[in-house]
């Protein structure tokens, strides 16, 4: 079983983009709390590796992440990638709960316990995956298109 951490790709959709259009990385996690992250491309690459080497992975659970960053660090990386200031704003869990109890429970878990993934060990043991850091991921996004007013949610 492969168990991916939070998806980097979620930062280029929905309410994340809404905030980034205004220069805010609004996320329901304190600025100092590390998050483990992974892009979809790394999940796919690792899944392919598992299928190629089934005997090695049969009966195991592998927690996946390719980077660990605090929301404050993510805002700094996004500032560079977007070429304009982005600040982290902690969204209260109560606000998230009004939209989704499940989503609020997930962020509460991230805040209290977090995901403990050995990012360094994964990178060392499986270099063929070609792991991406959040910076690697962020600089490859087409932010002008993603943030365009035409793509804003109505």
Paired tokens of 118 = 């050995």
Do 130 and 43 meet the contact criterion of CB atoms below 8 Å apart? Answer: no
Whole-angstrom distance, CA of residue 56 vs CA of residue 95: 43
Give the contacts of 112 (CB within 8 A, at least 6 positions apart). Answer: none
Residue 50: band (very low, low, confident or very high) from pLDDT cuts 50, 70, 90: very high
SS3 84: coil
Output the pLDDT for position 106. Answer: 83
- Eight-class DSSP state of 14: H
Residue 12: band (very low, low, confident or very high) from pLDDT cuts 50, 70, 90: very high
Whole-angstrom distance, CA of residue 79 vs CA of residue 86: 5
The alpha-helical segments, DSSP class H, found in 9-150 are 14-21, 40-52, 54-57, 71-82, 93-99, 101-112, 119-125, 134-139, 143-146
For 105-118, the pLDDT digits (tens) are 888 888 887 788 99
pLDDT beyond 80 at 153: no
% of the chain with per-residue pLDDT over 90: 66
Q: What are phi and psi of 36, to 5 degrees?
A: -95, 135
pLDDT beyond 80 at 8: yes
Output the pLDDT for position 103. Answer: 85
- Between 122 and 31, the more confident residue is 122
């Amino acid at each position: 079983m492969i168990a991916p951490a939070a998806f980097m790709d979620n930062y280029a959709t929905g309410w994340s983009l809404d905030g980034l259009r205004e220069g805010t990385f609004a996320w329901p996690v304190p600025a100092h709390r590390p998050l483990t992250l992974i892009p979809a491309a790394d999940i796919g690459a690792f899944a392919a590796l598992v299928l190629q080497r089934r005997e090695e992975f049969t009966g195991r659970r592998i927690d996946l992440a390719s980077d660990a960053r605090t929301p404050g660090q993510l805002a700094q990386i996004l500032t560079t990638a977007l070429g304009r200031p982005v600040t982290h704003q902690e969204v209260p869990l109560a606000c998230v709960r009004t939209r989704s109890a499940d989503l609020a429970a997930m962020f509460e878990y991230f805040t209290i316990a977090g995901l403990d993934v050995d990012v360094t060990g994964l990178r060392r043991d499986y270099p063929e995956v070609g792991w991406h850091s959040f910076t690697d991921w962020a600089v490859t996004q087409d932010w002008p298109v993603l943030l365009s007013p035409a793509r804003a949610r109505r």
